[in-house]
Amino acid sequence: MDEVLFHISQHLEALQVYLNSSIQHGRLMLQTSSDHARTFFTEVWSGQRAANLREGVEQLYLWLADQVGEVKRLAEGLIQPQRFLRQIRHLLENDLSRTGLYFGGLGFLFGGLFGVMLGLSWYRPPPPMQRMRAVVCTGYYGPDSLATVDDLPVPTISSPDQILVQVKAASVDTVDSKICCGYGRVLRKQLYRHSYVSIDRDRIVCGLLQGIIIEIGQKVKNFEVGDEVWFGAPFWSSGTMCECVVVKENMVAKKPRGVGFEVAASLPYAGTVAWNAMVHQAGLNDASTAGKRILVHGGSSPVGCILIQLARLWGGSVATTCSSRATPVAQALGAEEVIVTGRGNVEKQLEVRESFDMIFNTVEGSLSHEACLKFCRPGGRVVTTFPSHIASDSYSFLLRPTYNLWLRIKLLLGLSPWGDLVLSPTTLDQLAALVEDGSLQPVVDKIFSPQDAELAFQHAGSDEAIGKTVIRFRLEHACTCGAYPRSHSCMTAVQTCKRWLSGASFYSNLRKPPNVSHMSPIAWGV
- Three-class DSSP category at 160: coil
Read off the pLDDT of residues 318-366 as tens digits, 9 standing for 90 and up. Answer: 999 999 899 999 999 999 999 998 787 888 899 889 999 999 999 887 7
pLDDT at 526 over 60: no
Measured CA to CA, the distance from residue 381 to residue 58 in angstroms comes to: 89
Please state the rounded mean pLDDT for residues 490-517: 36
Higher confidence at residue 229 or residue 178? 229
Q: Do 167 and 240 have their domain in common?
A: yes
DSSP-based helix, strand, coil % in the chain, nearest 5 = 45, 20, 35
Read off the pLDDT band of 522 (50, 70, 90).
Answer: very low
337-340 vs 443-448, strand pairing mode = unpaired
Q: Are 243 and 473 in contact (CB under 8 A)?
A: yes
- Asked if residue 144 has pLDDT above 80, the reply is yes
Nearest in space to 238 (alpha carbons), one of 224, 228, 248, 250: 248
Q: Where is 41: in which H helix or E strand? A: helix 2-45
In the chain, the number of structural domains is 2
Nearest alpha carbon to residue 466 among 350, 365, 382, 341: 341
Terminal C-alpha separation, the chain: 106
**203 with 285, same domain?**
no
Does residue 72 lie within any of the structural domains? no
Instruction: Indicate whether 228 and 309 sit together in one domain.
Output: no
pLDDT of res. 418:
61
Q: Give the chain's radius of gyration (CA, Å).
A: 39
User: What secondary structure does DSSP assign to 242-296, as a single string?
Assistant: BSEEEEEGGGEEEPPTT--HHHHTTSHHHHHHHHIIIIIIS---TTTSTT-EEEE
Please write the tens of the pLDDT for every residue from 36-62: 777 777 776 677 777 777 788 888 888
Range of the domain at 155: 131-266+390-524
349, 384, 419: which is the final residue of a domain?
384
3-state SS of 386-431? CCCCCHHHHCCCCCHHHHHHHHHHHHHCCCCCCCCCCCCHHHHHHH
Give kind and range of the element (H or E) at residue 166: strand 162-172
Nearest to 214 by CA among 243, 257, 240, 185: 243
Identify the bridge partners of residue 210 per DSSP, sorted by sequence position: 169, 230
pLDDT at residue 484, rounded to an integer: 41
- Asked if residue 508 has pLDDT above 80, the reply is no
Select from 340, 356, 384 the last residue of a domain: 384
Q: How far is CA 419 from CA 79, 308, 332, 384, 410, in A?
A: 73, 26, 35, 15, 11
Task: Give 429-496 as a DSSP string.
Answer: HHHHHHHHTTS---EEEEEE-GGGHHHHHHHHTSTT--SEEEEE---TT--SSSBPPGGGS---HHHH
Cα atoms in the Cβ-side hemisphere of radius 13 Å centred on 44: 6
Residue 50 lies in a domain: no
The residues near 133 (Cβ < 8 Å, ≥ 6 apart) are: 148, 149, 150, 152, 242, 243, 450, 473
Q: What confidence tier does 420 reach under pLDDT thresholds 50, 70, 90?
A: low
Whether the model pTM is above 0.75: no
Does 257 lie in the same domain as 163? yes
Both 403 and 495 in one domain: the answer is: yes
Do the domain assignments include residue 416?
yes
For residue 196, count CB atoms less than 10 angstroms from its CB and return exposed for 0-12, middle for 13-18, buried for 19 or more: middle
Structural domain contains residue 193: yes
In angstroms, the CA 290 to CA 275 distance is 16
* CA–CA separation, 279 and 307 (whole Å): 11
Angstrom distance (rounded) from CA 137 to CA 334: 37
**Co-location of 249 and 311 in the same domain:** no
Tell how strand 376-384 and strand 356-361 pair up: parallel
Distance CA 417, CA 396 (A): 19
Residues 331-346, buried b or exposed e (16+ Cβ, 10 A)?
bbbbbeebbbbeeeeb
Q: Is residue 179 part of a domain?
A: yes
**CATH code, domain with 279:** 3.40.50.720
Indicate whether 235 and 275 sit together in one domain.
Answer: no
| Average pLDDT value for the chain | 78
Q: What is the mean pLDDT of residues 165-176?
A: 87
Shared-domain flag, residues 240 and 172: yes
* Distance (Å, whole) CA 197 – CA 332: 42
Q: Which of 342, 359, 384 is the last residue of a domain?
A: 384
Ramachandran area for residue 482 (φ above 0: left; ψ -120 to 50: alpha; else beta): left
396 with 336, same domain: the answer is no
Per the CB < 8 A criterion, the answer to whether 487 and 409 are in contact is no
Residue 154 lies in a domain: yes
Backbone angles phi, psi at 216, to 5 degrees: -130, 155
Q: Span 151-179, mean pLDDT?
A: 87
3-state secondary structure of 12: helix
What pairs with residue 296 in β-bridges?
Answer: 320, 360
Q: In this structure, are 285 and 307 located in the same domain?
A: yes
* Statement: residue 3 has pLDDT above 80: no
Higher pLDDT, 324 or 19: 324
What gap in Å lies between CA 291 and CA 185, rounded to an integer? 43
Q: Answer whether residue 121 is part of any domain.
A: no
Residue 516 lies inside a defined structural domain of this protein: yes
Residues 262 and 278 in one domain: no
Same domain, 241 and 140: yes
**Among 255, 283, 250, 279, residue whose Cα is nearest residue 267:** 255
Closest by Cα among 164, 168, 281, 161 to 215? 164
Strand 162-172 to 208-216 pairing: antiparallel
> CATH number, domain at 481?
3.90.180.10
Give the pLDDT score at 219: 92
Q: What percent of the chain has pLDDT over 90?
A: 25
